[in-house]
Structure 1
Amino acid sequence: MPNTYSRIYIQIVFAVQNRDAMIQPTWEEELYKYITGVIRNKGQKLMAINGTEDHIHIFIGIKPACCLSDLVREVKKASTNMIKEKAYCKFDFRWQEGFGAFSYGHSQIDSVVKYIKHQKEHHRKQSFRDEYVAFLKLFDVAYNDAYLLG
């Protein structure tokens, strides 16, 4: 869109179905590179990506014309297909339905990138569920506990 100037930063968080610990250290870097490619091919800017064996955080600079739900759906679909094609999991790999999305200002970029880069250390002290609920509360997002991370 001509004459449209923006900087929109979004942290996307989603988990493996049932929060199963299926993302293995032997292939997680390849998964993150693949997801990075999907995001870039959709014309968006990846700021950071990292996670643990049961979830990932993706921090992007998103253009206003991009539909976030469509982007996340494509990331999940493409990465699931890649994991299955490479036979990385013995079991049927699936991402949870839904996702969390949290917006940030330009002055917060460095702290969000640092937070995402240190996910493994962070989760030695806090569970993913506790982290996710903390995000929901911090951003004043109403949620139903029965559907949380399903």
Structure 2
Amino acid sequence: MPLIKVYIHFVWSTKNRFPFLNSVELRQKVWNHIRENAKEKGIYVDFINGYSDHCHCIISLGVDQNIKKIIQLLKGESSFWINKNKLTKEKFEWQDEYFAVSVSESLIDKVRDYIKNQEIHHKKKTFKEEYDEIISKFGFQKVMNK
């Protein structure tokens, strides 16, 4: 049996960055649902949190998992669930784009703390500012809708 530990930090936003997830209670429901759904699908969510218009998630990849499939399963099912349960006034959608970066074992606690403190973080900085920093820091091309 192969033993692997590969952490990926995923970030994805709501369609047009609309603040659908506008309360702490709603966000907690969505994050808990994503975690439970992931577990049912054999996806290990190490940590999840976010803000009104985006989600951060650390996932430990399984031996037969890939980034594209994981993000499709999590985003697709969660938007379906949110709409089915009428958790938002308007039709909920995640934006197609996302980004994912690997996280070394030595930095995993720092990334968890960063994700845990999203409420505080976004009182000081918008998601657009955060997005621009991440694009620059990791050398991504600007392909996500602004």
Q: Same fold (TM over 0.5)?
A: yes
Shift of 1:45: 1.8
1:77 CA displacement: 1.2
Q: Could you tell me which residue of structure 2 aligns to residue 15 of structure 1? A: 13
- Which of residues 22, 25, 28 in structure 2 aligns to 1:24? 22
| Contact 2:43–2:70 (8 Å) recurs in 1 | no
- What is the CA–CA distance in structure 2 between the aligned matches of 1:149 and 1:124, rounded to whole Å? 22
Name the SS for the 2:82 alignment partner: helix
The change in CA–CA distance for 1:149 and 1:39 in structure 2 (over 3 A counts) is: farther
Question: C-alpha distance in 2, partners of 1:17/1:93?
Answer: 8
Amino acid at match of 1:129: K
* Alpha-carbon shift at residue 5 of structure 1 (Å): 2.3
Partner of 1:149: 145
Write the letter of the residue equivalent to 2:19: A
Instruction: Give the gaps of 5 or more residues in structure 2.
Output: none
Query: Displaced runs of 4+ in structure 1, greater than 6 A?
Result: none
Question: How many residue pairs end up in the alignment?
Answer: 145
Alignment of 1:108 onto 2:107:
yes
* Residue-by-residue CA offset, 1:9-39 (whole Å, 9 max, x unaligned): 0110000000001113232211111100122
Shift of 1:126: 1.1
Secondary structure, aligned partner of 2:42? coil
> In structure 1, what residue type is equivalent to 2:22?
Q
Distance 1:90 1:141 in 2: 34
- Cα displacement string for residues 82-110 of structure 1 (whole angstroms, at most 9, x for unaligned residues): 11111111111100012110111101111
**TM-score normalised to structure 2 length:** 0.92
Query: What RMSD in Å do the two structures reach over aligned CA positions?
Result: 1.4
Question: Larger deviation: 79-88 or 132-141?
Answer: 132-141
